[in-house]
Amino acid sequence: MPIRIASMTRRIAKNGAMLHKATMDRVRALGADHEPSEAEQTLAEERRLLKEERAKRQAQALQPRAKAIDKLVRTHHPQAKEKPKKLKEAKEPKVSKAHRPSRGEKHAAQAAALQAASRAPKKTAKT
């Protein structure tokens, strides 16, 4: 079961301080050559578990993180088309149109028409 602690370093430091205190109490009371007490063994086991958990978390932190694009849920997965597309028939090339008059030619023709209209004999209202 994972240990639910945000800061492993503080917990390990506190545990180390308690373990050191328990060890020093034993050494002062019984001497250095006696076996560790039950409380001391419990603290040592807890310290070992905390260090393993810290190592596991550090290894997990080095793993690549999931990206937002990986979490994207797609609703439509396009399927491959079974039938190949039909080739379109080639169109006939366009026939070039006859010469279109340019803007200048249009104005020249209009001016010629106006001049011809002014030179033409005027019709009277009586005829």
What are the tokens at 21?
């205190």
Q: Say if CB 47 and CB 86 are below 8 A apart.
A: no
Tell me the C-alpha distance between 124 and 31, whole Å: 147
pTM recorded for the entire structure: 0.48
| Residue of higher predicted confidence among 31 and 127 | 31
| Model pLDDT for residues 42-70, shown as the tens digit of each residue | 999 999 999 999 999 899 989 988 777 76
| Model pLDDT for residues 66-123, shown as the tens digit of each residue | 777 767 766 667 777 777 778 888 888 887 777 788 999 999 999 999 999 888 887 7
Cα 62 to its chain centre, rounded Å, is: 20
Q: Say if CB 12 and CB 47 are below 8 A apart.
A: yes
Tell me the C-alpha distance between 26 and 33, whole Å: 10
| Residue of higher predicted confidence among 50 and 33 | 50
